[in-house]
Amino acid sequence: MDSMSNDQRVIVIGSGPAGAMAAHELIRNGIPVTMLEAGSQFQGGILLRLMGRNFYRRVPPMEHGTRHIASGDPQTDWYFNLAPGGLSNQWTGATPRFAPEDFTEGERLHECYRWAVTYDEMAPYYERTERLMDITADSRDVPNLPAGYAAYQQQIPHDWQQIARHANTHGQGLTTMPLADGPPSLLTRRGTAFNSFTNLVRPLLSSPHFRLISGAHVLKLEWSATKRKVDSVLYYDSVAGTQKRLSADAVVVACGALNSTKLLFDSACADFPEGLGNSEGVLGNYLHDHPREWWIFDMQKPLSLLSPSAYLTRLPYATSQPLLATSWTLGLVGLKDKLRSRIGGKGTVVGVQVFGTMIPSLQHYAKPTDTKKDAYGLPLLDLHIRYDEAVIETMIAARQHLMCLMDEAGYPSTLREIVPQLFPGTSVHYGGTARMHASRKYGVVDTYNRIYDAPNVLVCDASCFTTGAEKNPTLTAMALSARAAEHLAANLKAGR
């Protein structure tokens, strides 16, 4: 094994959106950063945007099914991408903020569901993140969805406003889905307008304080029993074909929710035999995902074709069961309507993606299995998760609710086709397994994402989510990461 001395103060693991945001914020605050990224080569793709619309998009493939076993629902899948930029090579770019209630509503069930951060504390970091992402959105608040900063304004078509008015009577909003779609015209050799590697990490390469080591698969965070902190990181260098060690003052773990959780389990040591950060037995528990469905409905009368997509927000918190909700994303179906939408055409067919929520609990978890190992001889994760009846009922009710809403608004519609996808993993939104809580009894990390057991290690991806609101998670993971990194920078500068 090679040993390297290191004058970098913080190691950031992972160059996906969460890690890239942490590195960006640390460098902005004058803290030297070494980023370790498992992937070696940036994956290509193609994106052509003209007049504010995506004309052609080709994304690279992802891996799935190779790092886990499924002891809950046997269909459970896990998609990941060990490449520079992580899953932002593939993502759609939807960036809704969480609403203030998303941080508190679970408390109605139990104190363990209250986040250790409020919306007001998050708001500046949401905005800081949004300003880096070239988002197209309507910058007006709607019920249950606060507006964010939008580089490009877009409102839903005029004739959809009457559906929006009826949605309002149900306490819901209908608005443009906030999308990190980039500038109106773009031709690029990547599959997504916002890719965390090209948009955030590459610009850092010109900083003398930033170093990227790619092909560096981190195997373990090394705890020093004498210093009472993690003082080094062990990784496999795929170029040299050897293990290497790097020391640092602090470590930001941002490998994607499940890979981060796996790394903490793989970092078990004499002081933390059940995994780093797991002295209270919380690590790996409270796994959650977004149950997801995609279906099509036909309207009896045409409305403007929706491009970009529209977003129907969840039902009001006060009248919903805590932590059970859905959101609806409404968009185009088929090439013909895609082309017709470019010239402002109308149509009668709408595609809907529904994201639901589930109540995180001790019954759903990601834990190492002692039966199977990965390429590095480390245990695979056992994903033990299954959607229960309440979750499925909420998803079915979501179909009916939208049909009723269309009917009330004078656009009677019929459900056509439901693609069966109600098993975990298809939304690629896992979270919760290194959760944030004000008490270590219910949390692996504190309000600034510091592991209670090892406060010089921060976990900065969706694994830190206390609950999983029905909104897409990446913007919130990035904003949390920015907040945690800024706090870490202040502490390091103050010599703490």
Ligand X SMILES: Cc1cc2nc3c(=O)[nH]c(=O)nc-3n(C[C@H](O)[C@H](O)[C@H](O)COP(=O)(O)OP(=O)(O)OC[C@H]3O[C@@H](n4cnc5c(N)ncnc54)[C@H](O)[C@@H]3O)c2cc1C
Does residue number 39 form part of the binding site for ligand X (CB under 6 A)? yes
Q: How far from 68 is each of 19, 49, 399, CA to CA, in Å?
A: 23, 37, 32
Subset of residues 231 to 290 that bind ligand X, contact rule: CB under 6 A: 254-256, 259, 263
Q: Is the peptide bond before 308 cis (omega within 30 degrees of 0)?
A: yes
CB closer to ligand X, 83 vs 306:
83
Q: How many residues bind ligand X (CB under 6 A)?
A: 40
Residue in 8, 10, 12, 17 binding ligand X, rule: CB under 6 A: 17
**Quick check: 462 and 481 in contact, CB under 8 A?**
no
Q: Could you tell me which residues are beta bridge partners of residue 8?
A: none
Using the minimum distance from each CB to ligand X, give the nearer residue, 56 or 228.
Answer: 56
Residue among 377 and 495 whose Cβ is closer to ligand X: 377
Q: Which is nearer to ligand X, 303 or 477 (CB)?
A: 477
Q: How far apart are CA 189 and CA 358, in angstroms?
A: 37
Q: Which residues, 6+ apart, have CB-to-CB distance to 418 below 8 Å?
A: 293, 294, 295, 399
What is the footprint of ligand X within residues 184-223 (CB under 6 A)? 216-218
Please report, for residues 22, 128, 178, 262, 422, the alpha-carbon distance to residue 471 in angstroms, rounded to integers and kept in the order given: 22, 19, 11, 25, 17
**Based on CB atoms, which residue is closest to ligand X, 19 or 173?**
19
Q: Which pair of tokens denotes residue 479? A: 């904003």
Residue 88 contacts ligand X per CB under 6 A: yes
- Residues contacting residue 466 through CB under 8 Å, at least 6 positions apart: 103, 106, 113, 114, 115, 116, 360, 432, 435, 436, 437, 443
For residues 456 and 328, the answer to whether their CB atoms sit within 8 Å is no
Contact pattern from residue 44 through residue 63 relative to ligand X, giving x for each residue in contact according to CB under 6 A and a dash for the rest = ------------------x-
| Cβ-based nearer residue to ligand X, 263 or 366 | 263
Is residue 132 near ligand X by the rule CB under 6 A? no
Q: Which of 48, 52, 64, 79 binds ligand X (CB under 6 A)?
A: 79
Asked if 68 and 365 count as a contact pair (C-beta separation under 8 A), the reply is no
Residues from 365 through 394 that contact ligand X (CB under 6 A): none
Q: Tell me, what amino acid is at 1?
A: M
Out of 10, 38, 380, 381, point to the residue binding ligand X (CB under 6 A): 38
From the list 8, 54, 90, 467, which residue makes contact with ligand X (rule: CB under 6 A)?
90
Options 12-20, 112-120, 366-374, 447-455: segment touching ligand X (CB under 6 A): 12-20
CB of 76 to ligand X, least distance (A): 16
Is 341 a residue that touches ligand X (CB under 6 A)?
no
Nearest distance from C-beta of residue 380 to ligand X, angstroms: 13
Minimum separation from the CB atom of position 276 to ligand X (A): 13
In the numeric block, which tokens belong to residue 265? 């389990």
Q: At its nearest, how many Å lie between ligand X and the CB of residue 38? A: 3
* Among 182, 214, 472, 486, contact with ligand X (rule: CB under 6 A): 472
* Tokens standing for residue 360: 């995180």
Closest distance of CB 148 from ligand X, Å: 13
Per CB under 6 A, 16 contacts ligand X: yes
> Taking CB under 6 A as the criterion, which residues in 405-464 touch ligand X?
428, 461-462
Least spacing, CB of residue 86 vs ligand X, in Å: 2
Q: Is 240 exposed, middle or buried (0-12, 13-18, 19+ CB in 10 A)?
A: exposed
Applying CB under 6 A, which of residues 6, 29, 75, 92 lies at the interface with ligand X?
92
Stretch that binds ligand X, among 30-38, 205-213, 341-349, 407-415 (CB under 6 A): 30-38
Which alpha helices (DSSP H) does 352-473 contain, by range? 389-408
- Residue from 42, 78, 91, 365 touching ligand X (CB under 6 A): that is 91
Among the listed residues 10, 18, 250, 480, the single contact to ligand X using CB under 6 A: 18
Distance, CA of 471 to CA of 325 (rounded, Å): 10
Question: Quick count: other Cβ atoms within 10 Å of Cβ 363?
Answer: 14
Q: List Cβ neighbours of 383 (8 Å cut-off, separation of 6 or more).
A: 68, 69, 70, 71, 72, 76, 78, 258, 287, 366, 424, 425
In the complex, what is the shortest distance from the CB of residue 81 to ligand X, in angstroms, rounded to a whole number?
A: 6
Q: Does 474 bind ligand X (CB under 6 A)?
A: yes
Of these, 8, 15, 353, 449, which contacts ligand X (CB under 6 A)? 15
Q: Two tokens at 211?
A: 């170093």
93 binds ligand X (CB under 6 A): yes
Q: Residue 103 — φ and ψ, nearest 5°?
A: -90, -10
Please name the amino acid found at residue 346. Answer: K
Instruction: Say which amino acid occupies 27.
Output: I
Cα(276)–Cα(265) distance, integer angstroms: 6
Shortest Cβ 253–ligand X spacing (Å): 9
**Window of 89-97, 103-111, 312-320, 437-445 that interacts with ligand X by CB under 6 A:** 89-97
| Residues near ligand X (CB under 6 A) | 13-19, 36-39, 62, 79-83, 86-88, 90-94, 216-218, 254-256, 259, 263, 428, 461-462, 472-474, 477
